[in-house]
């Protein structure tokens, strides 16, 4: 029997029916873009999201159903608050990129609480302050997985999975309970919080869908991509290069030894929870990946499409010692320098369009190598191979540069986005479509394997990063 996956991303909702061989029987996608009413604010219409979730899920089932289970994958950190009785949102959904609570995060730092604006905690507090300053209403908080589960269940299921819960900023460090001190500081009533459930396991019924199939998986998008690329054993890792880039590695049942951020800028994550047991991992982040290619296309007009970046870069064998640091939004792992800015170095009269485009692709590849080195150091793990998905994985020049920068073979995902596949695996495991994680791992069959060739100069790269650092000192001083 097949599995339905509802994948709610930052800019679209995708509902797909996957067969046991992971082929797609039906797929429906509807754009759902966030709004930015002012600089730094990112909002979405949660009611519209619910409508689109039901629309796409029902359409996919009509074409490719019936299904044995439903899996949900979602953008992480985005926050919704709704009234329990009516199911109506009490304000806008706040996207994970929303920065309206930066000041609150800095103020909490003086009280000894370290919360970042991209997690849910201060977003929830802001919504409660706006809708229920006296904390008298019967409200529900959820991340997008919670809101989708509520929607699919017809308003009866108020849950959140362990991967999303661990990234709310509201849990204890072991992921086993709510952090009372944080709840008190933000005046968050525990009654508003969802029940935390397994990532892979039946949480309830999708009563709003034909046949009421069980909701058998809820999972954050990056963890779904990790599972979708078969990284289910300790020491296996994937990197997703889309607008930004995220490298995730599976570590095992033991939590990393640091509380929030490791010495090399990585973060502990719950990779998944099954049967009440957590598998932990680490995550490292590039803030600007595909946005650098978009800059070449939309702002400079150097290329007419993202795909053309490969063709143009292939016209030269190297960058001619031109270096590009993709710090358009600052630098993430390992530096975490929000005041760094995009930098191009080494331009000469002989620098042409191919050298500039290749420098951009190689710069993003170097950032991928930064992530790998950081994860290996913080996780005390060796990664002999790196798996890759996301839009940039379709670019052969970029993938070659990633192999050269990391010095590791790069295995390219057979699907451009592995998120849906991972959520399907997790839902299918809960209802017997796949027997165990070994069977999931055995499904991995890369579209291509790219071996490293010429070594890229990592020392020269680090020198370039140093030139990009702290361009805006007041932002570089922020430690979020």
**Backbone torsion region of residue 203, taken as left when φ is above 0, otherwise alpha when ψ lies between -120 and 50, otherwise beta:** alpha
What confidence tens digit (pLDDT) does each residue in 44-55 have? 999 999 999 999
Are residues 182 and 270 located together in one domain of the fold? no
Are residues 209 and 259 located together in one domain of the fold? no
Q: Tell me the residue range of the domain where 181 lies.
A: 2-221
Domain edge (last residue) among 221, 245, 267 = 221
**Residue 175 in domain:** yes
Structure tokens, 27: 């797929």
Number of domains comprising the chain: 2
Residue 478 pLDDT greater than 90, yes or no = no
What confidence tens digit (pLDDT) does each residue in 148-181 have? 999 999 999 999 999 999 999 999 988 889 999 9
Confidence at residue 150, expressed as pLDDT on a 0 to 100 scale: 98
Alpha-carbon distance of 293 to 296, in angstroms, equals 5
**Residue 442 in domain:** no
Are residues 204 and 258 located together in one domain of the fold? no
Strands 195-197, 159-161: pairing kind? parallel
Alpha-carbon distance of 193 to 125, in angstroms, equals 12
Are residues 212 and 235 located together in one domain of the fold? no
Q: Please, which pLDDT band fits residue 34 given cuts at 50, 70 and 90?
A: very high
DSSP string, 235-276: T-EEEEESSSEEEEEEEESSPPSSSSS-TTS-EEEEEEEETT
Residue 241 pLDDT greater than 90, yes or no = yes
Domain edge (last residue) among 192, 221, 250 = 221
Cα angle value 142/122/174 (rounded, 5°): 70
Confidence at residue 260, expressed as pLDDT on a 0 to 100 scale: 87
The answer to whether the Cα torsion of 284, 9, 74, 430 is positive or negative is negative
What confidence tens digit (pLDDT) does each residue in 332-343 have? 999 999 999 999
Confidence at residue 65, expressed as pLDDT on a 0 to 100 scale: 87
**Across residues 234-241, what is the average pLDDT?**
98
Q: Please, which pLDDT band fits residue 63 given cuts at 50, 70 and 90?
A: very high
Are residues 395 and 454 located together in one domain of the fold? yes
Return the half-sphere exposure (C-beta side, CA atoms, 13 A cut-off) of residue 135: 13
Q: How many CB atoms lie within 10 A of CB 104?
A: 19
Domain edge (last residue) among 166, 191, 221 = 221
What confidence tens digit (pLDDT) does each residue in 262-300 have? 999 999 999 999 999 999 999 999 999 999 999 999 999
Taking Cα atoms as reference points, which of 398, 396, 403, 394 lies closest to residue 453? 403
What confidence tens digit (pLDDT) does each residue in 304-323 have? 999 999 999 999 999 999 99
**Residue 438 in domain:** no
> Mean pLDDT in the chain?
97
Confidence at residue 194, expressed as pLDDT on a 0 to 100 scale: 98
Alpha-carbon distance of 8 to 10, in angstroms, equals 7
CATH of the domain at 255: 3.30.420.40
Are residues 107 and 241 located together in one domain of the fold? no
Are residues 24 and 85 located together in one domain of the fold? yes
pTM over 0.75, yes/no: yes
């Amino acid at each position: 029997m097949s599995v339905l996956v509802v994948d709610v991303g930052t800019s679209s909702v995708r509902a797909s029916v996957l067969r046991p061989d992971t082929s797609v029987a039906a797929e429906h996608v509807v754009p759902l873009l966030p709004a930015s009413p002012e600089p730094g604010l990112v909002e979405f219409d949660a009611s519209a999201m619910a409508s689109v979730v039901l629309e796409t899920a029902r359409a996919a089932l009509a074409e490719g159903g019936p299904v044995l289970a439903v899996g949900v994958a979602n953008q992480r950190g985005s926050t919704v608050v709704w009234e329990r009785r009516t199911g109506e949102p009490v304000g806008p959904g706040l996207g994970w990129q929303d920065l309206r609570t930066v000041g609150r995060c800095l103020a909490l730092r003086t009280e000894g609480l370290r919360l970042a604006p991209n997690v849910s905690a201060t977003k929830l507090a802001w919504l409660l302050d706006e809708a229920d300053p006296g904390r008298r209403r019967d409200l529900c908080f959820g991340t997008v997985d919670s809101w989708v589960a509520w929607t699919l269940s017809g308003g009866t299921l108020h849950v959140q999975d362990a991967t999303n819960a661990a990234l709310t900023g509201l849990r204890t460090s072991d992921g086993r309970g709510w952090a009372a001190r944080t709840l008190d500081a933000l005046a968050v009533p525990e009654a508003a919080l969802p029940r935390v459930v397994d990532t892979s396991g039946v949480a309830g019924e999708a009563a709003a869908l034909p046949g009421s199939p069980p909701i058998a998986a809820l999972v954050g998008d990056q963890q779904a991509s990790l599972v979708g690329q078969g990284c289910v054993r300790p020491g296996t890792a994937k990197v997703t290069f889309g607008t930004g880039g995220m490298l995730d590695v599976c570590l095992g049942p033991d939590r990393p030894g640091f509380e929030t951020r490791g010495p090399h800028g990585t973060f502990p994550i719950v990779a998944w929870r099954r049967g009440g047991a957590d598998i932990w991992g680490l995550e490292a982040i590039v803030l600007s990946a595909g946005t650098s290619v978009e800059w070449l296309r939309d702002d400079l007009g150097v290329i007419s499409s993202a795909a053309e970046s490969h063709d143009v870069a292939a016209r030269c064998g190297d960058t001619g010692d031109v270096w590009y640091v993709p710090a358009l939004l600052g630098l993430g792992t390992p530096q975490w320098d929000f005041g760094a800015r995009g930098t191009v170095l080494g331009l000469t009269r002989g620098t042409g369009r191919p050298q500039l485009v290749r420098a951009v692709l190689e710069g993003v590849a170097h950032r991928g190598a930064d992530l790998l080195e950081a994860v290996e150091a913080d996780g005390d793990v060796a990664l002999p191979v790196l798996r890759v998905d996301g839009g940039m994985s379709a670019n052969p020049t970029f993938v070659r540069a990633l192999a050269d920068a990391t010095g590791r073979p790069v295995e390219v995902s057979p699907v451009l986005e592995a998120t849906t596949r991972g959520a399907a695996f997790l839902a299918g495991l809960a209802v017997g479509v796949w027997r165990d994680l070994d069977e999931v791992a055995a499904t991995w069959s890369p579209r291509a394997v790219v071996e490293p060739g010429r070594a890229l100069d990592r020392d020269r790269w680090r020198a370039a990063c140093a030139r990009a650092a702290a361009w805006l000192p007041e932002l570089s001083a922020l430690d979020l």
